[in-house]
């Protein structure tokens, strides 16, 4: 049976992101004895063309090819050794994540990209993130900011949270303040750190935080990563 008949409805596919469509392709490929990328995306299915029209049928297979390339980039499918003409196979990694639950777990790892992520930060938040405990992952990320700021500013354990950030980045006499910057920028940097701690760390210190979206959690952790970069650049 053609892939498009086992995939989500064609009009839905046109709206899907590559990483959303990719699991459907991978599961379909797992059932095939031979896999040829050219044949797979050959846009000559009259029924699909009748349903979508030529222009949208072309767009459909472009969406499929984007998802296919996502699978290749993640190492889920690869060229067949010793063969030419787009013959492919499902890799060992692809075999491992072919189920929905496993693919969802991998997508969470993908969202929290390790490229450019502070290694200590990654070590502290990755396990919680993969378990879906986004509240803990975010809390630990901003706790790491506190630890680094306190250490670099040579402040005491009594200096915590928002008060710590205001002290370390005080526009007038903050130990970590760049006094060569304009006054407005100095104040803005202090507010940036105090606001981040106040919004992303302090609430989890006092109550349960309803954080269920892995994309949002990943974005917040990458915000913490950028703040850590700022701290590390201070001499």
Domain boundaries of the chain, sorted by first residue: 3-109, 112-233
Residues 6+ apart with CB under 8 A from 19: 67, 70, 107, 110
CATH number for 3-109 (one of 1.10.10, 3.40.50, 2.60.120, 1.20.950): it is: 1.10.10
* Number of H-type helices and E-type strands within the chain: 14, 3
Q: What is the pTM of this model?
A: 0.59
C-alpha 42/C-alpha 68 separation (Å) is 13
φ, ψ of residue 78 to 5 degrees: the values are -150, 160
Do the beta carbons of residue 72 and residue 78 sit within 8 Å?
yes
**Each residue's pLDDT expressed in tens, for the chain with a length of 235 residues:** 688 787 778 887 888 788 888 888 998 998 888 999 988 887 677 787 788 887 888 898 899 999 999 999 989 999 999 887 889 999 998 888 766 555 665 556 567 766 788 999 988 998 888 778 899 999 999 999 999 999 999 999 999 999 999 999 999 999 999 999 999 999 999 999 999 999 999 787 777 778 888 889 999 999 999 999 999 999 8
Vertex 82, ends 77 and 84: CA angle to 5°? 75
C-alpha 219/C-alpha 225 separation (Å) is 10
């Amino acid at each position: 049976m053609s892939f498009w008949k086992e995939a989500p409805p064609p009009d839905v596919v046109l709206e899907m992101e590559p990483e959303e469509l990719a699991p459907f392709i991978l599961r379909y490929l797992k059932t095939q004895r031979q896999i040829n990328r050219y044949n797979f995306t050959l846009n000559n299915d009259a029924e699909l063309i009748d349903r979508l029209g030529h222009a949208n049928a072309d767009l459909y297979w472009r969406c499929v090819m984007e998802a296919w390339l996502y699978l290749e980039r993640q190492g889920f499918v690869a060229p067949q050794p010793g063969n030419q003409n787009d013959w492919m196979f499902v890799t060992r990694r692809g075999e491992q994540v072919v189920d929905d639950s496993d693919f969802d777990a991998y997508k969470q790892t993908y969202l929290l990209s390790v490229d450019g992520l502070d290694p200590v930060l990654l070590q502290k938040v990755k396990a919680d993130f993969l378990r879906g405990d986004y509240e803990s992952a975010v809390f630990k990320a901003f706790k790491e900011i506190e630890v680094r700021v306190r250490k670099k500013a040579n402040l005491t354990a009594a200096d915590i949270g928002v008060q710590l950030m205001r002290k370390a980045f005080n526009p007038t006499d903050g130990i970590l303040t760049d006094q060569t910057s304009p006054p407005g920028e100095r104040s803005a940097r202090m507010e940036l750190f105090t606001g981040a701690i106040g919004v992303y760390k302090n609430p989890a210190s006092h109550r349960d935080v309803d954080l269920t979206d892995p994309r949002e959690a990943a974005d917040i952790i990458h915000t913490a990563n950028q703040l850590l970069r700022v701290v590390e650049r201070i001499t």
